[in-house]
Structure 1
Amino acid sequence: MIGKLKGTLDEIDEDHCVIDVHGVGYVAFCPARTLAALPSPGEAVVLFIETYVREDMIRLYGFRTALEREWFRLLMNNVQGVGAKVALAVLSTLAPADLANAIALRDIAMVSRAPGVGKKVAERIVTELKNKAPAYAGETTGTIGLKQELGEGVAPAPVADAVSALVNLGYSRDIAANAVAGALKAAGEGADSAKLIRFGLKELAR
């Protein structure tokens, strides 16, 4: 199995690219976000690869990061009705952190923005991955956990009050939760609401 390709970018097409590795051209099908971030043809490139083997076909799927590849596997292996095409469409539309965020908040509309992903499929993605998303959220794991607690009504009172205060100041709930998650890291878990609000405003001012 091929897990990674390191070579020279030969060409970029609508849904794939070709990487020259010591004279052999490998075709890798990629999310649009990955294709858009590739360098110009002739430059060095590295892609993390998922190899898909069938009796009549071997296909390579390429990603900028190992985390993107893990999300591809997660979508393919855990959500009924999601194949490679739909998984690529989702990752073309949403970065891993945004996808994890949408799942944590049960934001079906956000997931269904992906081409070819209807409401039912988006609902399955959100439902079937709700317990797996935090492990694949990358650097946003703490924020995702906080948002889950807020959504379930189990967040500590100072945290919930701080988020509510920022929302009342005109920030969206999502932005407020991000700011308070950052404030918790700076102020500590035992901080009161006033301190969290103060630190949260500092986060928002950055």
Structure 2
Amino acid sequence: MGNRMLFVCHANECRSPVMAGTMIAALEAAVRQDDWRVSSAGTDSRGGSLCPVAVGVLSDTMDPQLLADFQDHFVSTPIAQRTLERADLIITASREERSAIALRVPAARPRTFTLREAVSLGAGDGESAVDLAEYADILHERRGLTGAASHRRLLALRKSNDPNDIPDVHHAALRAHRAGLQEVREAAHALASGILAAIGE
């Protein structure tokens, strides 16, 4: 069956692929990729290719061959009902995507978190989990018990005052685009580290 993890953003061209690629790289480094299923999707995907800026950001995280395989097999994908129903943990870029998923599949709400939210909730007391589904349960139980995520903010880009949102930087200037995706990569790496530390073999 495997641990099923889904990353979601608006178009599935920048933020969610960077999250997914970072997680895949972490699993590869930990030699634990065989029992995991990592995918990404968009709430308004148009079937586009992987953003070149995202490729550049992932090149600092993924082995060249792993990145080449990831890029070759990537196509922007819309979220599917079955995928939402089966995912053990769903990570979104912002509250907008999190809300869209909750409206579409209400039962997925306890398993759906923004990236920043999941990192903040996972920074606990080192509690362990047998699998990703149990890890999602732990995060859900901690909702409302921790403060908002504290992190470097891209004030010029942020449309929301909620620090758990990571803004869509796809149409921003190149420097801001790259900085925004580097922020995504850093948060995704923190998430991956927390998950792999909690779920032992």
TM-score by length of structure 1 reads: 0.24
Higher strand share: 1
Higher helix share: 1
